[in-house]
Amino acid sequence: MEDTAKRLTRRVQLTTDGLKAYLEAVEENFGCNIDFAQLVKMYGKPIDGEHRYSPAECTGIQKTIIQGNPKEKHISTSFIERQNLTMRMSMRRFTRLTNGFSKKVENHAHAIALHFMYYNFVRIHKTLRVTPAMQAGLTNHLWSIEDLAHLLK
């Protein structure tokens, strides 16, 4: 969070889940220069009874404005939940109970970095029709796997 706060050049809106550690981290790194809200989901019993891997039913949400003036319609965790799903589906090391699960934190960090470089600079996204890096103006061309490998030199 510290690195993100340093790199931002304008005020942003941030939504987190109800983890209490976020309250101190946001205050410490952003001060009062942020529109910050928390979205907490309440869950009931699993949909299919008491099965080990069955998802619980979401019975409601609670939105709480913590600081600033966040826009109600943008208080959402959907984008990060989608990003987390994409990560889990793209990298076996995020799948528990498999032999691809990371055992060393350094290897885990390298795999995540490689995934995001590929996702943002190499892979053309169907809705954008370009890479996210091209859409954001970070690059003007489509990167190849070889371009990523040259970063290691």
Tens digits of residue pLDDT in 31-50:
999 999 999 999 887 655 55
Phi–psi pair at 52, nearest 5 degrees:
-60, -45
HSE-up of residue 59 (Cα within 13 Å, Cβ side): 7
Report field, pTM of the whole predicted structure over 0.75: no
Q: Report in angstroms the alpha-carbon separations of 48 from 81, 82, 152.
A: 22, 23, 48
Range of the domain at 11: 2-74
Question: Do residues 63 and 87 both lie within one domain?
Answer: no
Domain end marker among 74, 94, 127? 74
For the residues 75-96, what does the mean pLDDT come to? 85
Question: Do residues 61 and 23 both lie within one domain?
Answer: yes
Domain end marker among 74, 94, 123? 74
Q: Which residues sit opposite 28 in a β-bridge?
A: none
